[in-house]
Amino acid sequence: MSKKKKKLAEEAKNKKRKALLKPIPEPAFKEEKFNPKNLMISIGALLIIGLSAYFLYADTADYDMVFCDDNIFVIDKAAEHKALDDWTNPEHIKHYFSGTIGVSYYRPILSMSFMMDANRGINEGCKPNEIDESVFHETNIFFHILASCLVFIFLRKIGYSHAVAGIFGLLLAVHPVLTPAAAWISGRNDSMITVFILLTFISLVYFYRLKSPWSWVVLPFHLIFFAASLFTKEIAAFFPFVGFAFIFLFMKSKKLFDPKHIIVTSGWLITGLIWFSYRLEAISKITSNPDTMGWDAIVENWPTVFTLFGKLFVPYKMIALSTFEMSSIIIGIVFFIAFIVAMIKVPKIDKYRAWFGMSWFLLFMLPTLLVRIDKVSDFFDYAEHRAYLMMVGIFIVLIEILRALKVDFKKPLTLIISALLIVSLAYQSYGYKAHFQGRQKFWQRMVDMYPYKSRGYLDLGKAYFMINNTEKAKELYKLGIERNPNNKNLYLDLAAVFMKEKKVDSVYFYAKHAVSLAPQDQSSNYYLAKSLFIMGKYKEAKPYYDVVANRNRKWPYQFIDIGLNYFRLGEYDTAIKMYQRALAKLPKNALAHSNMGAAYAYKARQQAQDGDLASAKTNFNNATICWQNAIVYNPKTYDSYVNLIRFSLYQKQNEEGIKWAKKLKAAGGKCPKDARALLAKVGYIY
C-alpha cells in the first residue's frame, strides 16, 4: 500500500473515531420560546397520562379498608379530625404540627390531608358505618395522577423531548410497584412527597432559568414547596443534597459561589431549621422509641436498595409490604451493576447527568434505610411504594443510557415497544390492584405470598372474625401459632373468638398463654380477668384487672367490668372509682350510672350497719341520682327502675315507689318477685 493510501486510511480512521467520541447534543436546558404547537402537544400528553392513571385506578374509590394502618387514619382518628377541622383556629393547626404519626414519624401535612378527607367523608358521630371511605381513595387517586403529570412536566423542564417525558410519565402512572400508593389509603405519603419534591425541582429550574426580577418571584414558591415536602415526609431533608447534585452535575454549574447558589442554599437552610425545630419539639414528647435507628437499621435494611431497584425492571411477586427474598435481591444487584457499568462504559453517555439521576435514587433512598420499625421481622422488610420518588432518578439514568445508545424515541419502533411495555405494566397493575379491594383479599395475599409467616394468618383471621366466620378465624389463628408460637396476638384473638362463643375455659386457656408472653399487655390481662370473673373467681381476676386499670387509656367499657369485679368483692369505693373513670369518657353510659348506683347503695347499707347514718343517707341519695341518670340516658335500663322501687319502699316513700313501678311498666320492663311483693304491701298490684 502506498504512503498516500496509508495516509488516507489513517485520516478516515481518525475521522470515524472522532465521530464516535463526538458528544450527543444535550437536552436543551434553556427555556424554549413559546410555541402553540408545543403547548398543544404538552396538553395532549398530560391528558393521556392523567386519563391513563385515572381509568386504571378509578374503581379503587369503591374499595373497602384493608385494616393495615388505613383503619387508624379513617376510623381511629375520625373524631379527632372532625374536632380539628377549623383552618382559622391556630390551635387546630398547631395540633397537627406538634405531634407525630406512629411513634416518631413527623408528617403534619399528611395528617392534615386525612383531616380534610375526614371532614368530607365522615358524618356526625364518626361511627364506622357512617364513613364514606371513597373520599380517602379519591385523594389517593388525585395525588397519583398529579405525580404522574408532574413527572412529564419535570422532564420537559430539564430539557427532554415530549416523547421521552410522555413515555416516562406513563411508565410511572401505570407501574405496578406504585399500585399500593394509588389503591391503598396508607400508601398516600409517597405520592404526596413525590408531588411536592417535583414541584420543588420545577420551581428550582425556573429560579435558575428566569432572569431578574422573575427569578425572585419564583423563589418564595420554591421554598414553600420545599417546606411542604419537609412537613409531608422526612426524606425531603435530603433534598438540598439532591439539589446540589442537580446544580453541579445536571446543570454543570462551574461557579461554586454564584449569588443564586448562595441565596437558594440560605433559603434551604432557614426552611430546614424551621422544620427541624418543629420536628424536635414534636418528637421530644415521645417517651420511648422502640424503632431501630441509624447504622443498626442500615445493616438490616440494605437489601431494600436492590430489591426496589430490581422490581422497577422485573415487577414480580408484588405485595405492598414485602419481605427480602434472595431472588429479588439478586435481580436488583444485577440491574444495579448493569446501570453502573453502563454509566461508566457506554460511549458518549453524559456521565454528569446520569450520576445526578443515580444520586437522586440513592440520596432519597438513604432515609428509608435509617429506620427499622420495631417488631416487623414476622411481617415485612420494606414497602414497595417507597420506590415512588426514587423511580424518577432511575428514569433520568435510563434516559441518558438510551440516548447514549442512540435510541430515538420518535421512531415508530421505539414508540411501539414503549407502548407494549406500558400496556403490559398497566395490565399487571390492573390485576394487582384487586388485592386492595378489602381486608380479606389484602391479607389473603399476604398468606399466599408468605405462608411461613404468622402475621398474615393473624390479620386474615381478624377479617373472618369480623364477618362472624369464627371457625375459619380459629383455623387461621392456630396455623399462625404453628408458625410463631411466641406471637401473643394470635392467642389473644383466639381468646376473643371463644369469648364470643361463650366458651370460657378456652378463653382462659388462650388468654393465659397471651399473658405469659406479655405480662403487662392490657388486652391479654383483660380477657384473662374476664374469664375468671365469669367463672366466679373474683379474687383471682383482681390482679389482672388491676393491670388493665393501670394501663387503660382507650377503652372505658373495661372500667365498667373492673368496677363490677370490685363490687362483687365488696370493695365499693374502688368500684365507684372505676365507674367514674368510665363515665369520664362515656358520660351518658346508662350501665355505668346504674352499676355505680348499686355500689353507692351497698356502701350506704354498710355504713348504716356501722352506725354512720349521715354518710349512709348521702350515699343513698347518690345511688338514687345514679339510677335516675341511667334511666334518662337509656329508658330501658330496667334494673335502675327496680332499684328505685325497692329503695323508695324501704324508705317508706310509697308514692315514689309506685311512681317508678308505673314508669317501669310503661317502659316495658318486668318487675321481679321481691319488688312485686313490696308493691303489693302498699296496695299496688304490678
For 608-622, how does the pLDDT look when each residue is reduced to its tens digit (9 = 90+)? 888 888 898 898 899
**Between these two residues, 578 and 12, which has the higher pLDDT value?**
578
In a 3-state reduction of DSSP, which class is residue 396?
helix
Residue 33, pLDDT > 70, answer no
**What's the pLDDT tens digit per position in 107-119?**
999 999 998 888 8
pLDDT of amino acid 380: 85
DSSP, collapsed to helix, strand or coil, labels residue 158 as coil
How many angstroms separate the CA atoms of 493 and 485, rounded? 14
d(CA 300, CA 292): 10
Query: 348 with 21: CB under 8 angstroms?
Result: yes
Q: How far apart are CA 458 and CA 460, in angstroms?
A: 6
Q: Are 671 and 642 in contact (CB under 8 A)?
A: yes
**Grid cell for residue 664:** 317501669
pLDDT digits (tens, 9 = 90+) for 367-417: 989 888 776 667 888 899 999 999 999 999 999 999 999 999 989 999 999
Q: Which amino acid is at 89?
A: N
For 229-280, write each residue's pLDDT tens digit.
999 999 999 999 999 999 998 888 888 888 899 999 999 999 999 999 999 9
Q: Nearest to residue 470, comparing CAs of 489, 446, 490, 496?
A: 496
Residue 270 is placed in which grid cell?
Answer: 432557614
Q: Which sign, positive or negative, has the C-alpha torsion 642, 648, 649, 653?
A: negative
Cα distance between the two ends of the chain: 133
Pairing type for strands 371-372 and 292-293 reads: antiparallel
Q: What is the pLDDT of residue 681?
A: 86
DSSP state, 249? I
Q: Dihedral sign for Cα 549, 551, 554, 555, please.
A: negative
Q: Where are the alpha helices (DSSP H) in 346-407?
A: 351-369, 387-404
| Span of 27-36, 237-246, 513-522 with lowest mean pLDDT | 27-36
Report the C-alpha gap between 72 and 90 in whole angstroms: 24
Element (DSSP H or E) covering residue 321: strand 321-322
Give the closest residue to 350 by CA, choosing from 149, 159, 169, 171: 159
645 to 125, 617, 619, 627, 640: CA distances (angstroms): 35, 17, 17, 11, 9
Q: Residue 225: its pLDDT value, please?
A: 97
Instruction: Answer yes or no: is pLDDT of 9 > 60.
Output: no
- Distances in whole angstroms, Cα of residue 68 to Cα of each of 180, 323, 631: 12, 16, 40
Mean pLDDT of 138-148: 97
- Helical ranges in 370-469 per DSSP H: 387-404, 412-432, 439-449, 454-466
Q: For 550-577, how does the pLDDT look when each residue is reduced to its tens digit (9 = 90+)?
A: 988 778 899 999 999 999 999 999 999 9
CB of 579 closer than 8 Å to CB of 566: no
- Spatial CA neighbour of 63 closest among 160, 168, 180, 171: 180
Tell me the one-letter amino acid at 526: Y
How confident is the model at residue 473, as a pLDDT?
96
pLDDT in tens, 169-183: 999 999 999 999 999
- In contact, 318 and 382? CB cutoff 8 Å: no
Segment 428-487, tens digit of pLDDT: 999 999 999 999 999 999 999 999 999 999 999 999 999 999 999 999 999 999 999 999
Full DSSP string of 518-529: -TT-HHHHHHHH
DSSP 320: S
The mean predicted confidence, pLDDT, of the chain is: 89
Q: Higher confidence at residue 678 or residue 538?
A: 538
Residue 86 phi/psi, 5-degree rounding, is: -95, 105
Q: Where are the alpha helices (DSSP H) in 36-130?
A: 36-57, 70-71, 78-83, 90-97, 108-121
CA dihedral 394, 398, 404, 405 (to 10 degrees): 160
In terms of Cβ atoms closer than 10 Å to its own Cβ (0-12, 13-18, 19+), residue 29 is middle
pTM: 0.86
**CA distance readout (Å), 31 to 23, 28, 44, 47, 537:** 22, 8, 20, 22, 81
Nearest to 192 by CA among 246, 223, 235: 235
Distance CA 454, CA 446 (A): 10
pLDDT in tens, 620-633: 899 999 999 999 99
Three-class SS of 621-671: HHHHHHHHHHHHHCCCCHHHHHHHHHHHHHCCCHHHHHHHHHHHHHCCCCC
Cα–Cα distance for residue pair 250/166, rounded to 1 Å? 20
Going by DSSP bridges, is the β-strand pair 321-322/292-293 parallel, antiparallel, or unpaired? unpaired
**pLDDT given for residue 25 in this prediction:** 47
Q: Which of 77-91, 274-288, 646-660 has the lowest mean pLDDT?
A: 77-91
Length of the chain: 686
The angle formed by the CA atoms of residues 140, 141 and 142, to the nearest 5 degrees, is: 90
For residues 418 and 213, the model is more confident at: 418
Determine the pLDDT at residue 29: 54
